[in-house]
A and B are shown apart, each in its own frame.
Chain A
Amino acid sequence: MRRLATFWLRYRRNRGAVAGALALAVILALALLGPILYPTDPFDMVGRPFSLPFDRFPLGTDVAGRDILAGILNGGRVSLLIGVLASLSATIIGVALGAVAGYYGGRIDDLLMRTTEFFLCIPSFVLAVVLVAIFQPSVVTVTVAIAVVSWPSVARLARGEFIAHRDREYVQGCRAIGMPDWEIILLQIMPNALPPIIVVSSLMVATAILTESGLSFLGLGDPNLVSWGYMIGVARTVLRTAWWMAAIPGVMILLTVLAINLVGEGLNDALNPRLRKR
């Protein structure tokens, strides 16, 4: 309880982070509750195409007469879901590989790190495009593709943390009493190594949302689901006649990514006490 209180005290000091958390809460609430409170199907042709915002429909209609507000609410769900799931899976993969590599060192480290470097040296967006194109776009393949291109940075970070901790006295103490390796990794080092990883993976959510938007914009999103990137892709061809159609989902992506970055900053301040007096 006290730890949580000190965490909040530290977090609160960063005003931007508080604003980001608020904005993120609002966006999450919209994505979760929006489709329930505003149950229009985002693919339904509800009215005349190209109708202006604040006319018959709150945010107007798109090129095919579909309600843009419904698209924003449902698209938020998809964008956030893919963002969170992809970054969560990337974190799990990255931490697992990084922990093993960092803890054991030697050949295992070499093998795992060369593999990681292999992924790091390919531009991540290009690799994601290739993966989705090969495995056909669907919500699962897009999430997996984003996770696959995102884990290497987490792995490098986790490895660094584990190397720093593996020869500390408390770890040596654990070894001396005969604690098995998995217990040392999971229960002893992990809690100490986790704070910087949490920061990185929270920022990764933002990158994942951007990657998903990029894929959808290129027409490589799940064709059965609306996402913000898809909405921009649809509006792209009519940018000269109806700029707002692309601007609305664009602003949503901007706000979400900004909010997540601010929250990540706040987490960094709160979880890394060494940096807190920057």
Chain B
Amino acid sequence: MRSTGILSLAMAALLAGVTAGNALAQPKKGGTLTYTYHPEPTALSTIATTAVPVALISTKIYESLLEYEGAGLTPKPGLAESWTVSPDSLTYTFKLRAGVKWHDGKPFTSEDVKFSIEQIALNYHSRGRTYFGNVAAIETPDAQTVVLRLKAPIPYLLRAFQPSETPMMPKHAFSEQEIAEKKVRQARIMQEPVGTGPFKLKEWRKGSHIILERNADYWKPGKPYLDQVVLRVMPDGAARAIAVEKGEVDLAPTSALPPAEMQRLSKLPHLVASEEGSEGLGPIMWLEVNLRDKPLSDVKVRQAISMAIDRDKLVDVIWYGNGKPARGPIVSGNPNHFDASLPKFEYNPQKAAQMLDEAGYPRGAGGVRFKLTQNFLPYGEEWVRQAEYIRQELGKIGIQVETQSLDMGGWLKRIYTDWDYHFTSNFTHNYSDPTIGVQRAFISSNIRKGASFSNSMDYRNPRLDELLLKAAGMQDGPERKKVWNEVQAILRNDLPVIFLIEIGYTHIWNKRVQGLITNGISMYTNWDSVWIQ
């Protein structure tokens, strides 16, 4: 009897512990979050480059006017306490929060905002022109008010104020000479950041680590919860995986580990692997097709190719389950613009072969209808495996494919400068709005020799151009959604590219890390609410 008593006591204690654990979903202060990513950032500001490693760390140091909630990036107050948009969508007025200080103690004012947009983002951020090209003037009636006057509506303007896209930079940290001589990217602040964010730079030992420490004067009371955010630089993929497995590192964001290792680690009980939290980037992969010559200029041929590829198998086998079959140009994780009624692309090799017969490409000697050359994006092993798979599947419907491997420089030249290719795998980001990420690949005005990730296919569809331009000037809402729905329908039917998969960014973290996934750009937010159990 006695032993049972002890047992039930123990059980009760255990239960209490469990419920306490649940109730303890209350954030705890203190602790260090260590993450790993390769390669090491080259600078600590996305103004220098928007590469992933730079965006990951600089977004903890710099903030923008707004913060965002949910996968669809609903704007919330950030450095701007409130904002109003005029009925004609041509005037945006932001009220700035009072008492915000830069890491060096100087106050943050409307002058900094004007400077950050006009002098920095517009001139130096790779998407600055898309965001602010239609801004006519920026007025600063007082230190807490900023007014943006536009020449034409910018429907996605409220999503431009992300810390990686429009970081607020301190005007006083740049010399007039740096601005005048266009030496902003070489400025000292790119290496020694001064932001308003919850963390500030403590130490950067190149080749080893970066330590960010808590900003004690942060404007959000009680935040951040963490004392430190540390980046450990580890060039070897297997070593990164072991560090995460052993708990030396808490987080490997944005697919920082080799796919085979991610698959192995995702099964471990103390780790969480999630594809959530990157919806705002919208990575999508397709086969870019050169439409200049027969037979690829024939839409029937492209439809047959699309039908010959099993996208589920691609995701499962080549990408170790990281991703989803694409259903069109806009990723399904984008709730504002994706047409959810679109079905999956059909996989049916028999029908594909039949379509090629009907299109007038009968099988010749050895069952071959015609020969094509394929290239692939030289980003690593998986891209080679994918090319091999595609060659195999197309071979079965009578298209003999020869694979050609090129390095990054050779690939960019062949696809975007020489336009001398049949088809190639390619991978781009949708970003928060299709006008930013989708338009550039399909609009005929972007058939520009030498411009990378442009319309290399020579796709010209006047109706589509008209729709894309229309959408670019509309405010989000049911009307704009209708325009995007038509765009998706046209591109799905014309297939100027063969949409393959929405590559998933997998983030792997230790279960003791809490509150990491908050919105569609979770790895590019400031982590002020992240805490360690």
Chain A residues near B402: list those with CB within 8 A. Answer: 224
A64 at interface, CB cutoff 8 A: yes
Q: Interface majority SS on B: helix, strand, loop or mixed?
A: helix
Contact assessment for B389 and A64 in the assembled complex, using a CB-CB cutoff below 8 Å: yes
The one of A63, A136, A238 in contact with B404, judged by C-beta atoms closer than 8 angstroms, is A136
Contact assessment for A241 and B260 in the assembled complex, using a CB-CB cutoff below 8 Å: yes
Chain A residues near B238: list those with CB within 8 A. Answer: 240
Contact assessment for A64 and B318 in the assembled complex, using a CB-CB cutoff below 8 Å: yes
Contacts A219-B384, A223-B403, A240-B238 given; indicate if A63 touches B313 (C-beta within 8 A). no
Contact assessment for A136 and B405 in the assembled complex, using a CB-CB cutoff below 8 Å: yes
Chain B residues near A44: list those with CB within 8 A. Answer: 392
A49 at interface, CB cutoff 8 A: yes
Among B261, B388, B389, the one with the most A-chain Cβ atoms within 10 Å of its Cβ is: B388
A41 at interface, CB cutoff 8 A: yes
A57 at interface, CB cutoff 8 A: no
A65 at interface, CB cutoff 8 A: yes
Question: Which B377-409 residues have C-beta < 8 A from chain A?
Answer: 381, 384-385, 387-389, 391-392, 402-407
Contacts A137-B405, A223-B404, A223-B405 given; indicate if A43 touches B392 (C-beta within 8 A). yes
B317 at interface, CB cutoff 8 A: yes
**Minimum CB–CB distance for A139 against chain B, Å:** 11
Q: Mark A99-131, 1 if CB is under 8 A from B, else 0.
A: 000000000000000000000000000000000
Contacts A136-B405, A237-B260 given; indicate if A223 touches B317 (C-beta within 8 A). no
Chain B residues near A234: list those with CB within 8 A. Answer: 381, 385
Contact assessment for B392 and A41 in the assembled complex, using a CB-CB cutoff below 8 Å: yes
Contact assessment for B264 and A241 in the assembled complex, using a CB-CB cutoff below 8 Å: yes
**Chain A residue, CB-CB nearest to B378:** A219
Chain B residues near A41: list those with CB within 8 A. Answer: 392
Bound-state CA distance A137–B237 (Å) is 26
Q: Mark B247-276, 1 if CB is under 8 A from A, else 0.
A: 000000000001011001000000000000
Q: What bracket does the count of chain B residues touching chain A fall in?
A: 20 to 34
Chain B residues near A186: list those with CB within 8 A. Answer: none
Contact assessment for A64 and B385 in the assembled complex, using a CB-CB cutoff below 8 Å: yes
**Chain B residue, CB-CB nearest to A41:** B392
Bound-state CA distance A219–B405 (Å) is 9
**Minimum CB–CB distance for A11 against chain B, Å:** 43
Contact assessment for A45 and B404 in the assembled complex, using a CB-CB cutoff below 8 Å: no
**Chain A residue, CB-CB nearest to B385:** A64
Contact assessment for B388 and A64 in the assembled complex, using a CB-CB cutoff below 8 Å: yes
Contacts A64-B317, A237-B260 given; indicate if A45 touches B392 (C-beta within 8 A). yes
Bound-state CA distance A136–B318 (Å) is 24
**Minimum CB–CB distance for A51 against chain B, Å:** 12
Question: Which B345-397 residues have C-beta < 8 A from chain A?
Answer: 381, 384-385, 387-389, 391-392
Chain A residues near B387: list those with CB within 8 A. Answer: 223
**Chain A residue, CB-CB nearest to B400:** A224
Chain B residues near A133: list those with CB within 8 A. Answer: 407
Contact assessment for A63 and B403 in the assembled complex, using a CB-CB cutoff below 8 Å: no
Contact assessment for A63 and B392 in the assembled complex, using a CB-CB cutoff below 8 Å: no
Chain A residues near B407: list those with CB within 8 A. Answer: 133
**Minimum CB–CB distance for A61 against chain B, Å:** 10
Bound-state CA distance A237–B385 (Å) is 12
Chain B residues near A137: list those with CB within 8 A. Answer: 405
**Minimum CB–CB distance for B415 against chain A, Å:** 15
Chain A residues near B317: list those with CB within 8 A. Answer: 45, 49, 64-65
Bound-state CA distance A43–B393 (Å) is 10
Among A44, A49, A133, A237, the one with the most B-chain Cβ atoms within 10 Å of its Cβ is: A237
Chain B residues near A219: list those with CB within 8 A. Answer: 384, 405
**Minimum CB–CB distance for B410 against chain A, Å:** 9
Q: Mark A35-49, 1 if CB is under 8 A from B, else 0.
A: 000000101110001
Chain B residues near A241: list those with CB within 8 A. Answer: 260, 264
Chain A residues near B381: list those with CB within 8 A. Answer: 234, 237
**Minimum CB–CB distance for B422 against chain A, Å:** 14
Contact assessment for B258 and A224 in the assembled complex, using a CB-CB cutoff below 8 Å: no
Contacts A136-B405, A223-B403, A240-B238 given; indicate if A43 touches B260 (C-beta within 8 A). no
Chain B residues near A64: list those with CB within 8 A. Answer: 317-318, 385, 388-389
Bound-state CA distance A241–B242 (Å) is 13
Chain B residues near A43: list those with CB within 8 A. Answer: 388-389, 391-392
**Minimum CB–CB distance for A57 against chain B, Å:** 15
Contacts A63-B260, A64-B317 given; indicate if A224 touches B403 (C-beta within 8 A). yes
**Minimum CB–CB distance for A78 against chain B, Å:** 15
Question: Which A219-267 residues have C-beta < 8 A from chain B?
Answer: 219, 223-224, 234, 237-238, 240-241
Chain B residues near A238: list those with CB within 8 A. Answer: 260
Bound-state CA distance A237–B318 (Å) is 13
Q: Mark B210-225, 1 if CB is under 8 A from A, else 0.
A: 0000000000000000
Bound-state CA distance A64–B381 (Å) is 11
Bound-state CA distance A133–B409 (Å) is 12
Contact assessment for B384 and A223 in the assembled complex, using a CB-CB cutoff below 8 Å: yes
Bound-state CA distance A224–B373 (Å) is 11
Question: Which A46-68 residues have C-beta < 8 A from chain B?
Answer: 49, 63-65
Among A43, A45, A133, A241, the one with the most B-chain Cβ atoms within 10 Å of its Cβ is: A45
Q: Mark B299-317, 1 if CB is under 8 A from A, else 0.
A: 0000000000000010001
11 more contacts with CB within 8 A, not counting A45-B317, A223-B403, A238-B260, are: A41-B392, A45-B392, A136-B406, A219-B405, A223-B384, A223-B405, A224-B403, A234-B381, A237-B258, A237-B260, A240-B261
**B residues with CB within 8 A of A:** 237-238, 258, 260-261, 264, 313, 317-318, 381, 384-385, 387-389, 391-392, 402-407
Pick 29 A–B contacts, CB within 8 A, sort by A: A43-B388, A43-B389, A43-B391, A43-B392, A45-B313, A45-B317, A45-B389, A64-B317, A64-B318, A64-B385, A64-B388, A64-B389, A65-B317, A136-B404, A136-B405, A136-B406, A219-B405, A223-B384, A223-B387, A223-B388, A223-B405, A224-B402, A234-B385, A237-B237, A237-B258, A237-B260, A238-B260, A240-B238, A240-B264
Give the 8 A-B residue pairs with the shortest CB-CB distance, closest first: A223-B403, A238-B260, A43-B392, A64-B385, A223-B405, A65-B317, A43-B388, A49-B317
